[in-house]
Every structure is written in structure tokens, then in C-alpha cells.
Structure 1
Amino acid sequence: MLTLAFSAYDLTSIRFAYSPLREVAASVRALRAPAGRSLHLPWFERVRPRLGADVAPLLDLVPAGTCIPDFLCPIPTTPVPDLAAELSALRALPHEVIRGDLKRAAGRSGRPAGAARELYENPAPALERLARAVEAYWRLAIAPHWPRMRALLEGDLLYRTRRLAEEGPAGVFADLHPAMRWTDRRLRLQDQPEALSRTLTGEGLVLVPSVFVWPGLFHRTDSPGQPVITYPVRAVATLWERGTAPAPGALAAVIGRTRALLLGELDTPASTTDLARRTGLSTGNVSEQLTLLLTAGLVAKHRVGRSMLYVRTPRADALLGA
């Protein structure tokens, strides 16, 4: 079991952010070890046939059953970073940092192999090849699905930050992951086979939602450095669903089928574009109906990064429940 003890300051220094590059690494791990990840089977079937030699430097660096080098899982510096910025930071990493991360990922042997060995011995050209492989992989495997993934991730940020503001750390960790327990200013991760502990002294904690880490966790909590825990994003089971939920009949008769349909889709925060994609309605129509629902107090809107996300209000939940 891993235990993190929080100071009073650290309790105020919990932040949330997602990371496109971290999502790339988690998705490659999922491709390499699909057992127990049946939820992502539709994505596996679409992506595998499309991957070729241009992504080999990335695939070779994340084999199944081994640690992922830390430089492929950067600590997000903003809540909603983009891939270009993270790759720019990757290309600029000092070579000694790259070598140190590769040695730690290699484990007890300390001897990187395959693509990792090439990167260790000749970092400059190998790092550029890796960055280009990440870009190619993103275009093939992630970009076609990114708008919907991003909507889930940004919706999770909105939900978690609200929980933190209203209920504190206990509210955040209550439903973050079954392996987590929060008591007496201590966070316990029960999936850790070894008994490890760390007392935070002002470093804070970064919590990163992820599509592809499901059903497990990633965590980097060794000292020194800021601890980071990557957890499964909320509502990840809805990601690959096709079709839409039927409109509640009684509610549709009162407020109209389209508005009832949109309320039914807002189980999790979503953008206008995402709602249009999921319902088959035009973006203009969705925007018009959301404005009416907003005026009636049935939805609220929040800006997260570059996206405006809509969410049902308690009044709408009561209507749907009735």
C-alpha cells in the first residue's frame, strides 16, 4: 500500500489537469496489454490495422508489462495543455533527463533495450524520431476521437474541481477510484504491492483524468518531485457508445422532444459540438435549444479551457426523475 500524508498547505495545492501526451502513452500501453480492457475493444479494432512503421519508435518504447519512461508522461503545467506544447517540451528536454528516465524504466537491469537503447545512446536524432512518431500516432489513433475524449476529460475537470470546492479532499477521493482511501489527511492507494509512504511538504498533488488508464491507475509519487496520480475519467463507458438515449416521453410532451433529448444527454458535461455529434442535430439547433434551457434554469454553462461545457442543473434532474 502507498500512503501520502498531506500538510495543511498541500490540502490547498491539489489541482486537476489532463495531458494529451500522457493519453498517448496510456493508449499504447492499452494496445500492448488489452486483457481486461474490453471497454476499448471498438477502438482497438479500428486502430490496430492503421498503425505502421512510422509509429514504431513510440510502440517500441512502451512494451507491455514495463514502466513507461517519465518523459512520455509529463506533469501538466496547465489544466488543458495541447499536444504541440507538450511535444515542444519533450524535444527540449536535457539528454541527461532522458537517460535517467530510461534507466529507471528499465528497472533492475538498468540497461535500456530496443528503441530505448537508441534513445539512450544517441538522444538528439532519436528524440526527434520519437516526437514525429507521436505526431503520426496521434493523427491515426487519437485525433479522430479527440473531440469526444476531450469533452469527457474537460467534463471531469469541471466535476472534480466543483467537488473539491464543495466537499474538500474527502469529496474528491470518495469516487475517484476503488483503490483509493482518504482518512486523517492521508491518501492510501491499495493497488501498490509494496508498503511505501511519503509526507508531502508543500509539493501538492496533481490529479490527471485519463481515458486509457481505465480500469487501473498510473502514479508517480516517489520523492523528489511533485506527485501525480492518473485515474480513469468519469463516464468512460459512454465513450464508444453509438446512438442516443431515448427522450423521456412525459418530459418531451411538456418541453419538446429536442430539449428533452439534450437534457437526457447531459449526464456528463458536454459541449455544443459534442451534443450535435451525439444527437444528429445541427450545431445551430443545439445552441438555440441550450439557450432556451439555460434561460429556464435547466442547464448551466462553464468554460473549461477553450470549451464551453453545459451541464444539467438540479432542477432538470428533478424533472427527469419525475
Structure 2
Amino acid sequence: MGDVRFGVDDLGRLRFAISPLWETVAALRATTDPGGHALHLPWLKQVLTKDTDPARRALLPHLAELPALAPPPRCPLAEIEEELPALAGPPELAAAVRAWWKAGVRPHWPRIRAVLEADLAYRTRQLSEDGIQEVLTRLHPRLRWAEDRLASADLPAGTLALDGLGITLAPSAFAARCVLLPARGGTPPCLVYPARAVGTLWERREETGDALARLLGRSRALLLSGTSTPSTTTALARRTGLSPGAVSQHLAVLRDAGLVTGHRYRREVYYRASELGASLLDA
């Protein structure tokens, strides 16, 4: 049993992040235990092939040492090329991570990132409505809040005092439990936790119905269906193939019609189908 002790300053220094580097490491770990990651079987069938095998096997011997070498995420929405310099000490390892990222994770990253962004939107809304303690204890059923501490059998034994550094919360599509990454080089510690709605990650996405496309136009119908979970303009552009400018214009029309709503988190706006928009999609 371990716990994290929060001070008054730490409660005000909670932040969220998405880390492609840590998702790449967690994805590699998932390939070593397919039975324990049944939700990811559609993905596993695609990546456990002879084409991706060289990149995966080159990195597997380093799986145990990666957590000690890769730091917790520094910024909320980093790209992997921004995170890889942290592995500059072992250049061969950085090259192996990059190769596995390109072979096994990058082709699926738009889907994965959409789930992670949706989780962030949910947590930030929960933070504003219910407070930090509710956010922390709802990250995972095994987490418990008592007085000034967050405790779990999943955390390293002993007490980690944040001492004013704060903490970063990072959702993961591949994590089966919470993982605590210690502070490093002035970067606050990070609690990696299983993201919500991972069960929807590999579901087949059916084409938007012709009736809805005739009503709204195919592009707007496609975008409306893409906001069933909170998504940014950039994420929607990646998923639909539309330019960011076109996505912004269509979203403005959908928002003015009351079909989507926008929620700002830092420098990003997350769009989600409104009650009216969701009813239209269901119909």
C-alpha cells in the first residue's frame, strides 16, 4: 500500500496531460500479455505481425528499464518527437521507441488520442463541478482519499510527499491499473490511470446515414457523428480528412444550430454533440 500526500499548494497545481511516449511503452507492454488486454484484441491482431515484429522485438529487452529512463510528461498535449529527447542519453533506445511508435502506435494514434482527449474533457468538467477529491477518487476503484492523502495498493509502498510540486494526471488507453511516475528534473510526478470508454476504442465506425447527410450535408453529418465524445478541431480534422479551417466553419454552423457545444480546456476547445445533436444522431 502506498499513498501520495497533498499540501494546500499541490491541490492548486493539478494538471492533465496526454503522453504519446508513455502510451507507446504501455502499448508494448500490452503485446506481452494479450490475454490480459482482451479489449485490445482487434489492435493486437494488427500489430502482432511479421511487419511490426522487428520493431517490437528490438524494444522488448528494454521494457523493464523504460519507466526509469522516460520522465513524466511535461506539457498537456505533447507530440512524441517533443518527448523523445528525454531519452537522448541512450540514443539506441530512443531509436527503438521511435520505430515501435511508427509501426504499432502511430497508425492508430488518432483513435487513441480521441479517447484520451474525451477523458480529459470529462475530468476537467468534473473538476469544475465536483472538486479535486472527486476527480482523484474516481480515477480508479482502487484509489481512496483520506485526510490529505490519496492511497492505493497499486501505488509504490510508502508515502510520496508532493511538497508543492503538484501532480499530473495522464489517462492511458493501455494501462490496466494506476502507475505513479516519480518527479524528475523539476517535472512534477505523474499518475497514469486507465482512461474511460476504452471499450469503444476499436469499435467499427459505421458511415453516417444518408438521411442525416441529406439533411445537414455529408461533411457536417460526419462531424456531428464525430462529436459523440468530446473532440478538438484538430482531432476531427485528422479523423475526417477535412482541413482544420473547414472543420471550424462546419462546427460554427452546428453550434449555432444548437447541435454541438464547446468546452475550453487551456488552449483547446472540445466539441461535443448537444442533447439535441445526440437525439438527431440516435434517430
Scaled to the shorter chain, the TM-score interval is 0.7 to 0.9
Tell whether 2:120 aligns with 1:144: no
User: Which amino acid is the alignment partner of residue 70 of structure 1?
Assistant: A
Tell whether 2:202 aligns with 1:202: no
| 3-state DSSP of counterpart to 1:36 | helix
Asked if the contact 2:110/2:238 (under 8 Å) is kept, the reply is no
User: Which amino acid is the alignment partner of residue 16 of structure 1?
Assistant: F
Once the two structures are TM-superposed, the CA of residue 221 in structure 1 deviates from its matched residue by: 4.7
Asked if the contact 2:28/2:56 (under 8 Å) is kept, the reply is no
- What is the aligned partner in structure 1 of residue 229 from structure 2? 268
* Structure 2: unaligned runs, 5 residues or longer: none
- What is the aligned partner in structure 1 of residue 61 from structure 2? 60
Tell whether 2:87 aligns with 1:85: no
- What is the aligned partner in structure 2 of residue 10 from structure 1? 10
Asked if the contact 1:181/1:188 (under 8 Å) is kept, the reply is yes
- What is the aligned partner in structure 2 of residue 160 from structure 1? 123
Report the more deviating stretch, 180-189 or 1-10. Answer: 180-189
CA offsets, 1:141-180, max 9 Å, x none?
A: 1111112222222332233223223322123124311111
- Aligned-pair RMSD on alpha carbons? 3.6
Q: 1:317 to 1:181 in 2, by over 3 A?
A: farther
Q: 1:260 to 1:221 in 2, by over 3 A?
A: same
- What is the aligned partner in structure 1 of residue 39 from structure 2? 39
Once the two structures are TM-superposed, the CA of residue 138 in structure 1 deviates from its matched residue by: 1.4
CA offsets, 1:228-268, max 9 Å, x none?
A: 21011222222111123987x9xx6xx76966775555332
CA offsets, 1:121-146, max 9 Å, x none?
A: xxxxxx22222112211111111111
* Alpha-carbon distance in structure 2 between the residues aligned to 1:169 and 1:305: 17
| 3-state DSSP of counterpart to 1:58 | helix
- What is the aligned partner in structure 1 of residue 150 from structure 2? 187
Asked if the contact 1:154/1:304 (under 8 Å) is kept, the reply is no
* Alpha-carbon distance in structure 2 between the residues aligned to 1:318 and 1:170: 33
- What is the aligned partner in structure 1 of residue 198 from structure 2? 236
Tell whether 2:95 aligns with 1:132: yes
CA offsets, 1:202-245, max 9 Å, x none?
A: 121111111111x2222235899733210112222221111239
| 3-state DSSP of counterpart to 1:301 | strand
* Alpha-carbon distance in structure 1 between the residues aligned to 2:122 and 2:62: 34
CA offsets, 1:10-29, max 9 Å, x none?
A: 11011111111111111111
- What is the aligned partner in structure 2 of residue 26 from structure 1? 26
User: Which amino acid is the alignment partner of residue 188 of structure 1?
Assistant: A
| 3-state DSSP of counterpart to 2:171 | strand
Asked if the contact 1:2/1:195 (under 8 Å) is kept, the reply is yes
User: Which amino acid is the alignment partner of residue 69 of structure 2?
Assistant: F
Once the two structures are TM-superposed, the CA of residue 183 in structure 1 deviates from its matched residue by: 3.6
Which of the pair has more CA radius of gyration?
A: 1
TM normalised by structure 1 equals: 0.71
- Percent of aligned positions that are identical: 41
* Structure 1: unaligned runs, 5 residues or longer: 94-126
* Alpha-carbon distance in structure 1 between the residues aligned to 2:227 and 2:199: 15
TM normalised by structure 2 equals: 0.80
Asked if the contact 1:219/1:227 (under 8 Å) is kept, the reply is yes
Aligned length: 278
- What is the aligned partner in structure 2 of residue 312 from structure 1? 273
* Alpha-carbon distance in structure 2 between the residues aligned to 1:273 and 1:15: 21
Asked if the contact 2:208/2:221 (under 8 Å) is kept, the reply is no
User: Which amino acid is the alignment partner of residue 166 of structure 1?
Assistant: E
Report the more deviating stretch, 264-273 or 25-34. Answer: 264-273
- What is the aligned partner in structure 2 of residue 99 from structure 1? none
* Alpha-carbon distance in structure 1 between the residues aligned to 2:182 and 2:139: 17
Asked if the contact 2:3/2:158 (under 8 Å) is kept, the reply is yes
Once the two structures are TM-superposed, the CA of residue 297 in structure 1 deviates from its matched residue by: 3.3
